[in-house]
């Protein structure tokens, strides 16, 4: 079952909407390009074997791999198709800076070599993500494989983790702000630090001395706040869900006008 992210809230505190774990898992898988592939060792009697693996996704969020028959992980998959792919957040701007505060995702399933009509869409999806692979994609020993996902485990940081069903994962879509999120945060933190403080004070009731945007998605954003020696974080909802990254600028301006109007 997929749950909403974030720590438990008291019954008298209004809930701030957040993407489900299924949405966050799809977004993290979409943003990533490299993961850690775990296979079952043929040489060492079922011992786990880890490999660095580039991947792309098909339309259902299933990982597509381009691997050589000479690779040990390929030989392992030929003997036992069970596998998992660990994907971790790239360059997180998390609240604590600790690596365990970053998001990560484990996709479990079985891998199979693609053939026939499955190869062309896999090739297109993979080369769109890894253009340099065009130099070796047609080598005789390389082939496309797909992980048919049977279970998903998502960790969104400290105290935010759960299993996600394959059905919920397939039905979810990457967040529409995913590609622009880093740019939005960089822009707000670099050029609009005063606006972030205004958001914290008006929308979260937090008298912050300084604020940093550490996450943003279609439903809202998260701020790391400093008040004196105290460091903590709050999530602030957008007044409406965003369908495109371009809408974020309009909504953030509206929210700033509201925040400043309330103190005028």
More confident residue, 90 or 40: 40
Given this model, what pLDDT does residue 91 score? 65
153 - beta bridge partners? 106, 163
Three-class SS state of 254: helix
Rg for the chain (alpha carbons), in Å? 21
Per the CB < 8 A criterion, the answer to whether 137 and 76 are in contact is no
Would you say residue 1 has pLDDT above 50?
A: no
Given this model, what pLDDT does residue 88 score? 95
Tell me the per-residue pLDDT of 111-146, one tens digit each, with 9 for 90 and over. 999 999 999 999 999 999 999 999 999 999 999 999
Distance, CA of 188 to CA of 213 (rounded, Å): 7
Distance, CA of 7 to CA of 27 (rounded, Å): 20
Indicate the helix (H) or strand (E) that contains 183.
helix 181-191
Q: How many other β-carbons are positioned within 10 Å of the β-carbon of residue 58? A: 17
Q: Under CATH, to which class is 21-171 assigned?
A: mainly beta
Would you say residue 11 has pLDDT above 70?
A: no
Per the CB < 8 A criterion, the answer to whether 19 and 215 are in contact is no
Per the CB < 8 A criterion, the answer to whether 90 and 32 are in contact is yes
Per the CB < 8 A criterion, the answer to whether 169 and 19 are in contact is no
Given this model, what pLDDT does residue 200 score? 97
More confident residue, 231 or 13: 231
Confidence of residue 158 (pLDDT cuts 50, 70, 90): confident
Distance, CA of 103 to CA of 90 (rounded, Å): 9
What is the pLDDT averaged over residues 156-184? 94
Helical pair 193-203 and 181-191, crossing angle rounded to 10 deg: 100
Q: How many other β-carbons are positioned within 10 Å of the β-carbon of residue 166? A: 19
In the predicted model, what is the mean pLDDT of the chain? 91
Tell the CATH topology of 181-263: Split barrel-like (3.20.180)
Q: What is the pTM of this model?
A: 0.89
What is the pLDDT averaged over residues 188-202? 97
Per the CB < 8 A criterion, the answer to whether 51 and 83 are in contact is no
Q: How many other β-carbons are positioned within 10 Å of the β-carbon of residue 134? A: 11
Helical pair 193-203 and 246-263, crossing angle rounded to 10 deg: 60
Start-end of CATH 3.20.180.10 domains in the chain = 181-263
More confident residue, 10 or 192: 192
Start-end of CATH 2.30.110.10 domains in the chain = 21-171
The two three-digit tokens of residue 137, written as one number: 């994609």
Tell me the per-residue pLDDT of 58-104, one tens digit each, with 9 for 90 and over. 999 999 999 999 999 999 999 999 999 999 987 655 555 677 778 99
Given this model, what pLDDT does residue 263 score? 66
């Amino acid at each position: 079952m997929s749950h909403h992210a974030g720590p438990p809230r008291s019954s008298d505190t209004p809930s701030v909407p957040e993407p489900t774990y299924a949405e966050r898992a799809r977004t993290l898988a979409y943003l990533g390009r490299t993961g850690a592939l775990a296979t079952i060792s043929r040489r060492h009697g079922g011992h786990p074997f880890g490999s660095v693996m580039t991947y792309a996704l098909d339309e259902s969020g299933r990982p597509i791999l381009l691997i050589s028959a000479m690779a040990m992980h390929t030989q392992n998959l030929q003997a036992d198709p069970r596998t998992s792919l660990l994907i971790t957040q790239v360059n997180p701007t998390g609240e604590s800076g600790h690596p365990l505060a970053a998001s990560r995702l484990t996709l479990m399933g079985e891998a199979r070599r693609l053939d026939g009509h499955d190869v062309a869409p896999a090739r297109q999806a993979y080369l769109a993500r890894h253009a340099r692979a065009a130099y070796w994609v047609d080598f005789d020993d390389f082939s496309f494989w797909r992980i048919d996902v049977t279970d998903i485990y998502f960790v969104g940081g400290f105290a935010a983790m759960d299993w996600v069903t394959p059905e919920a994962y397939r039905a979810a879509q990457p967040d529409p702000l995913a590609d622009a999120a880093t740019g939005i945060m960089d822009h707000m933190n670099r050029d609009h630090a005063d606006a972030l403080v205004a958001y914290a004070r008006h929308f979260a009731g937090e008298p912050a001395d300084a604020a940093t945007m550490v996450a943003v998605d279609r439903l809202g954003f998260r701020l790391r706040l400093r008040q004196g020696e105290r460091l903590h974080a709050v999530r602030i909802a957008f007044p409406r869900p965003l369908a495109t990254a371009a809408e974020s600028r309009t909504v953030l301006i509206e929210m700033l006008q509201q925040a400043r109007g309330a103190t005028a």
